[in-house]
Chain A
């Protein structure tokens, strides 16, 4: 089985522990918060889905779509 490749908006590979920057302002519907563009998120976790990553922003666990993040 080939390992899953997770890439950011520019096609750069993402790994567990990578730091990313939000490439777009995002509204998190359930949490009722808006994440600003440019916010830096450290220590991301990959998921089973190659289009999504797990991360923590202000102690809130959030799942982000990879096309809206940029590797730092």
Chain B
């Protein structure tokens, strides 16, 4: 059976000016993934709203295989995370702003709160559009983590489904692993050799991950690996921004609370300022 990590998608919608772009974008994505699409509206249901939304859906040029619409009331984050569990959602689609302001960073916007609390994978869309914008380059993390294999597999699936041309696996090498004080020729040589050794080890590890991916998913894709030295989470976001990647795929991290905002790590760097669309893969096997 073909590998399909995203069988059911959920999009929580509100009647905002970007509703049309959001709906067109998510129906297109559901169609590319051949997935069922669940729309959830949090708020009051009226006849006008229902008619307007149905008309908008009818106008969509691309139709997913199956569409469901649910109208719910309550606190948006709680309702949407509950809906993800209720409908067995594999991927939650959220429209997001590029940057959180200082207050929002500490209190959390709906999009960021959902990202931190959702039990499924999350796609943060920066610029949903009515017209399709090609997804040419996908960047995925190659962290040394048990979750990485699943994330890389999902990244290849997404890149293949969205007809991307290139995928780059970024392995981040922490500063502490290469921090050597260079005082003379001998220590310089030692530091260089150590860097090369770490680089070789990382490349071998990432290549092993790619070898486990079915050939059908990688044969049309050009893939490469890239080592970046720096703080985990921060450097991959910077790399994705520099190469103008269309999608960044990351491992999910454990659910975080308010106090974690003061101790920034991994994904928090990305969420503070989104470099591009970000797909966060929630591991089904490794929690």
Contacts and interface: CB of A to CB of B under 8 A. Distances in A.
B62 A10 contact: no
A24 B134 CA distance: 15
Given A10-B134, A11-B134, A70 B163 contact: yes
Contacts of A7: 134
A62 interface: no
Contacts of A24: 31-32, 34, 161, 163
Contacts of B61: 51, 65
A24 B136 CA distance: 16
A28 interface: no
Nearest to B132: A67
Interface in A15-33: 23-25
Given A23-B163, A65-B62, A67-B62, A11 B28 contact: no
Interface in B62-81: 62
A36 B132 CA distance: 22
Given A24-B32, A67-B28, A67-B132, A9 B62 contact: no
Main secondary structure of the interface of A (DSSP, over half): loop
A65 B61 CA distance: 9
B214 to A, nearest CB: 15
A52 B165 CA distance: 22
Contacts of B136: 10-11
Interface of A: 7, 9-11, 23-25, 51, 65, 67, 70
Interface of B: 28, 31-32, 34, 61-62, 132, 134, 136, 161-163, 165
Given A9-B132, A67-B132, 5 more contacts: A11-B134, A24-B32, A65-B62, A67-B28, A70-B163
- In order of increasing CB-CB distance, the 3 nearest A-B pairs are A9-B163, A23-B163, A11-B134
8 contacts: A9-B132, A9-B134, A9-B163, A23-B163, A24-B32, A65-B62, A67-B132, A70-B163
